[in-house]
């Protein structure tokens, strides 16, 4: 059992630094101090889950209307976020959440904000009326999302994800031809004799080196990647991901394609 109680207040009014909750799996509780009502939830990453709660509540778009209404009425300063239990195994999350739902009964209107009694499917048995759907649609329509569109966020995203170069006309045509060919031969299977013949034909083709490999010792070698992986007991898929830039290295080996 691990309990952590955090009070979220505006930073300028806080008398001590506000520490975010840990990135652990567990059961959490959001309490409205003036009314005593609370919400019980579970997450594999409590910090990330709290950030989602806090952001949606601050922007008035939380999917729990009762919790959103209390937040709008009393303000962020009137809510406590508490980790009531850390869970070691993720598969036990639903069981432990169900225990707290059964014990504390936050689904009762005079006790808490939870919508359902069942942890696996909290909305089971709950049907939203057409009027409620239209009301929520009007509330969300035209809502600004400043955390997505500020110049700082756009600049940071642009710096972290550089634009890919546009494919050439030849590459686009080659892709379209491949799609067309794959569609035409869909469902076709080679016979064992045909497979053996194809394999023998490929074995006779010269293995032209197309990749520059840098060994863990810093030696640079121009190699045929498939043969090099077999000779040095390397995973070809992992090495191919190194070539594509998805991995930095594989077992200390680096590689890039030389055309």
Q: What is the mean pLDDT of each run of 10 residues along the chain (259 residues)?
A: 44 46 86 93 88 88 90 88 86 88 91 85 61 80 64 72 75 90 81 88 80 91 89 90 89 87
Q: Cα–Cα distance between 8 and 46 in angstroms, integer? A: 15
- Which residues lie closer than 8 Å to 85 by C-beta, 6 or more apart? 1, 2, 3, 26, 27, 96, 100
Question: What pLDDT was estimated at residue 8?
Answer: 44
CATH number of the domain encompassing residue 210: 1.10.10.10
Domain boundary among the residues 149, 164, 179 is at 149
In a domain, 69, yes or no: yes
Whether pTM exceeds 0.85: no
In a domain, 195, yes or no: no
Question: What pLDDT was estimated at residue 17?
Answer: 42
Number of structural domains the chain divides into:
2
Question: What pLDDT was estimated at residue 88?
Answer: 84
Please give the residue range of the domain that contains residue 78.
4-149
Question: What pLDDT was estimated at residue 246?
Answer: 87
Question: What pLDDT was estimated at residue 39?
Answer: 94
Backbone angles phi, psi at 206, to 5 degrees: -65, 140
Question: What pLDDT was estimated at residue 10?
Answer: 39
Question: What pLDDT was estimated at residue 117?
Answer: 83
């Amino acid at each position: 059992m691990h309990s952590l109680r955090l009070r979220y207040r505006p930073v300028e009014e806080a008398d001590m630094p506000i520490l975010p909750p840990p990135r652990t799996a567990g059961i959490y509780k959001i309490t409205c101090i003036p009314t005593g009502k609370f919400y019980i939830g579970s997450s594999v990453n409590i910090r990330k889950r709290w950030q989602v709660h806090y952001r949606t509540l601050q922007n008035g778009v939380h999917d729990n209307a009762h919790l959103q209404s209390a937040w709008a009425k009393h303000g962020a300063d009137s809510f406590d976020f508490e980790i009531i239990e850390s869970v070691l195994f993720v598969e036990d999350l639903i069981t432990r959440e169900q225990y707290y739902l059964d014990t504390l009964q936050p689904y009762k209107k005079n006790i808490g904000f939870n919508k359902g009694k069942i942890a696996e499917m909290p909305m089971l048995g709950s049907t939203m009326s057409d009027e409620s759907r239209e009301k929520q649609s009007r509330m969300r329509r035209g809502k600004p999302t400043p955390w997505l569109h500020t110049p700082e966020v756009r600049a940071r995203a642009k710096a972290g994800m550089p634009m890919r170069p546009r494919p050439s006309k030849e590459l686009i045509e080659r892709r379209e031809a491949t799609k067309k060919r794959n569609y035409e031969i869909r469902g076709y299977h080679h016979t064992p004799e045909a497979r053996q013949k194809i394999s023998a034909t490929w074995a006779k083709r010269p293995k032209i080196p197309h990749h520059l490999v840098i060994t863990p010792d810093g030696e640079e070698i121009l190699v045929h990647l498939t043969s090099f992986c077999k000779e040095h007991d390397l995973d070809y898929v992992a090495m191919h991901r190194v070539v594509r830039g998805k991995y930095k290295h594989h077992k200390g080996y680096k590689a890039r394609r030389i055309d």
